[in-house]
Amino acid sequence: MTDQNTMRAVVFDGSLHVVDDYPVPELRPGWARIHIKTAGICKTDMELMKGYMGFQGVLGHEFIGVVEACDRKEWLGKKVVGEINAACGDCEWCQKGLGRHCPNRTTLGIVNHDGCMADYCILPVSNLIEIPADVSDDRAVLTEPLSAACEIIEQLPMTGVERAVVLGDGRLGILCAWALSTVLSDITIVGHHPEKLQIARWRHIHPVADSSDVEPGADIIVDATGSGSGMTEAMRLCRPRGTIVLKTTVAYQGDINLAPVVINEISILGSRCGQFKDGIKMLQDYPDMPVERLITDRYPIADAVYAFERATRSDAMKVLLQINP
């Protein structure tokens, strides 16, 4: 049984398990404690279990919840999502508004910061975004991966006439295709799962089951394969002086021949977290964006180990943990 000082949590410490006596995170000045409603299982969570970042503790960085405690009273009771990087606020990068790259940052459920797969998590108040009334919980819980997709639009100037190819028909690949389709009209998504490619259909997106059917010479290639081999395919399809956007985060990439990058003068753009305000705005501006299609299943926190196993299956898109009603 939990008491007021302990909580249920999904913990990785070399193995994955659920505990009911994990310490409730201590509130800090300028921070909020959030009562978690729903958390999402992400590919990054599964990579952490393979050794990525050497993380141990409470997993999870995708959530919706309600502010339960905070020294800013106006936030109490607000339903929120939260930016996952807790920056120091003082360094050069923070002063430039790039706290996502603060060298002293912690990252929710990823770097030195217990995550959201628990009854409670904490974040700086400055990280919180109130969920608008016209955005449902099932849409809001996908703010983090959608914002990561929006990051491409922030980082890469586009005129609207570029041809883009997204490699990978997982949840992030589909979200990248959907985000790009709000600014481009020629987008192909490549994957190996017919049911996922069907889910990806929206606006003018063209799903393809075999990359050999894609004409090389695209202006923009997004690698969201989750595999080290994605980069090789991206180099093959990218035009000279085109751009490859790396969205894949894997624990081990192996050897890659980067000669085509030099020969074809290809730009490589690493793209990670996006700003949640962009993800929320896209959900509001495009209410027909079918993000709910990505939800494969949901489980109570007590079944988290099974939920993670479910998330590894080839047909899984987004598996949710229902932490609290």
Q: CATH 3.40.50.720 spans which residues of the chain?
A: 146-270
For residues 64 and 131, the answer to whether their CB atoms sit within 8 Å is yes
Model's pTM, two decimal places?
0.87
- In this prediction, residue 51 carries a pLDDT of 81
Question: Residue 181 and residue 204: Cα distance in Å, rounded?
Answer: 7
DSSP per-residue letters across 156-196: S---S--EEEEE--SHHHHHHHHHHTTT-SEEEEE-S-HHH
Within 10 Å of residue 101's Cβ, how many Cβ atoms? Answer: 15
CATH number corresponding to 6-134+287-322: 3.90.180.10
What pLDDT score does 268 carry?
93
Which residues of the chain fall below pLDDT 70?
1-3, 249-254
Per DSSP, what are the bridge partners of residue 19? Answer: 9
256/21 Cα distance (integer angstroms): 45
- 146-270: what fold? Rossmann fold (3.40.50)
CA 50 to CA 157: how far, in whole Å?
35
| Comma-separated ranges of CATH 3.90.180.10 domains in the chain | 6-134+287-322
Please give the pLDDT value at position 3.
Answer: 67
Report pLDDT for 125: 96
